[in-house]
Amino acid sequence: MTSRRSFSGSTATDRPPPSAASARTWSTAVDARLLARKPATLSMREAAALPLAVITAWEGLVDRAGVRAGQKVLVHGGAGGVGSVAVQIAAARGAEVFATASAARTPLVRRLGAVPIDYTSVPVERYVAEHTGGAGFDIVFDTVGGPVLDASFEAVRTYTGHVVSALGWGTHALAPLSFRAATYSGIFTCCRC
């Protein structure tokens, strides 16, 4: 049985109803357990995008890679939508988090709870050596794709490491990942599914 709950006064209901010619409806019945109020600090656009970013980050880090306390996690694109959520999820689960970003975005990455790595000036070999003693990261979450996924294969820990990519399509050399005997998961979360 679906329970009913009123969300009157929210910004979503402050808009006038669409015209009669519109294919949209002004109200619908939904399961109240699936609803949440839009935080006042977010715009409608930000609030609409947040669930997809959270689901993508959660699926990659928790469902696929099993992130847990004590692990070293590298998030590529840590200042982006999915990356910023991934940083916070990994930190909340007790991981030591590192994230790549441009120099201008490193303060944001630090505020989110990660050690920032300026990808424009620090090569993979150097940040792997500096932050893992050359052992590699337990989990590498790629939110950028392309050459960054290839770099992820070089940054992951041997034997027990796991690379997760939200943009893993294209042609990639799997040899660096295979030589490390690490694992890989590709995730695809779509807003039109």
Distance of alpha carbon 58 from alpha carbon 110, whole angstroms: 20
pTM value is 0.79
Residue with tokens 């590498």: 140
Hey, what are 128's tokens? 């792997």
Note the residue count of the chain. Answer: 193
Is the pLDDT reported for residue 157 higher than 80?
Answer: yes
Is the pLDDT at 142 greater than 80? The verdict is: yes
101 bridge partner residues: 118
pLDDT digits (tens, 9 = 90+) for 40-95: 998 998 888 888 899 999 999 999 999 999 999 999 999 999 999 999 999 999 99
